[in-house]
Amino acid sequence: MEILRIENLSVSIDGKPILKNINLSLKEGEIHAIFGPNGSGKSTLLFTIMGMPNYRVIKGKIIFKGKNILKHSINERAKMGIFLAFQNPPAIKGVKVKDLFKIIGNEESVNEFLNRDFLNREINVGFSGGERKKLEVAQIFSFKPKLLLLDEIDSGLDIESLEYIGERISNFIEKEKITAIVVTHQGNILKFIKPRIAHVMMNGKIVCSGEPKKILETIKKFGYERCEKCK
């Protein structure tokens, strides 16, 4: 059954067009990967699905569980089960990690990725890049999303952390039958998470879709230019 459908979606930020005519369809429990160079619009797509107000939808639809969600606020979308793991989550002074888990749910997952001391720390204040990522992942476990948007979860992680996080997310997605869009620049996370299909984004358009492994190999060998021709 289809859980997410994106139709002819065009998005601009501050009047500047970023996404152009994006079409995407995800079945329940399906994982899609999105590759693309920096600034191609990968993160914009995820932020738009989450509903960030500065990402203006010029045209098109985002249909989640049969309903066009464009009019819904960020928190309403969160309540529907959409979760975005940020590439660069902000530091929020004065708000503690345990306050965050009061919103989301059970705080036990913090133990699995960081440690209990983090509960009393301010959100991401003084956290290393890896710690920020771990806090994002801990939230996924507590939130149990229906639709998971992973934005460069593999960037800035050392090999050990990547392995630890990668294995756990992959198992969790499988166990909970979570639908996911995995945005990755390097593709490292795909050692663990196995998408059914991958798309390549360039200049705000999906230029190519296909078997993830093949596409990744092409990119690594020939760069994104080859993808544009989609051969």
To another protein, the closest distance from the beta carbon of 99 in angstroms equals 6
For another protein, the binding residue among 26, 31, 84, 162 (CB under 8 A) is 84
Only segment of 58-66, 71-79, 158-166, 172-180 that touches another protein (CB under 8 A):
71-79
What token pair was written down for 168? 């756990």
DSSP type of residue 183? E
Task: Determine, following the binding rule CB under 8 A, whether residue 206 of this chain makes contact with another protein.
Answer: no
Task: Determine, following the binding rule CB under 8 A, whether residue 90 of this chain makes contact with another protein.
Answer: yes
For another protein, the binding residue among 122, 131, 163, 228 (CB under 8 A) is 122
Sheet holding 82-85, edge to edge: 82-85, 147-151, 179-183, 31-35, 197-202, 205-210
Task: Determine, following the binding rule CB under 8 A, whether residue 71 of this chain makes contact with another protein.
Answer: no
For another protein, the binding residue among 45, 100, 110, 153 (CB under 8 A) is 100
Q: How far apart are CA 127 and CA 182, in angstroms?
A: 24
To another protein, the closest distance from the beta carbon of 142 in angstroms equals 10
Spell out a b/e string for 57-90, using b for 16 or more CB atoms within 10 Å of the CB, else e. Answer: eeebebbbeeeebeebeeeebbeebbbbbbbebe
What token pair was written down for 16? 């500047």
Task: Determine, following the binding rule CB under 8 A, whether residue 53 of this chain makes contact with another protein.
Answer: yes
To another protein, the closest distance from the beta carbon of 83 in angstroms equals 8
Amino acid at 37: P
Task: Determine, following the binding rule CB under 8 A, whether residue 104 of this chain makes contact with another protein.
Answer: yes
To another protein, the closest distance from the beta carbon of 95 in angstroms equals 4
Q: How far apart are CA 185 and CA 183, in angstroms?
A: 7
Only segment of 34-42, 93-101, 164-172, 197-205 that touches another protein (CB under 8 A):
93-101
Q: How far apart are CA 10 and CA 45, in angstroms?
A: 10
How far lies 19's CA from each of 23, 58, 191, 205, in Å?
Answer: 11, 9, 28, 6
Cβ-based nearer residue to another protein, 103 or 230: 103
To another protein, the closest distance from the beta carbon of 20 in angstroms equals 24
For another protein, the binding residue among 39, 103, 112, 174 (CB under 8 A) is 103
To another protein, the closest distance from the beta carbon of 180 in angstroms equals 16
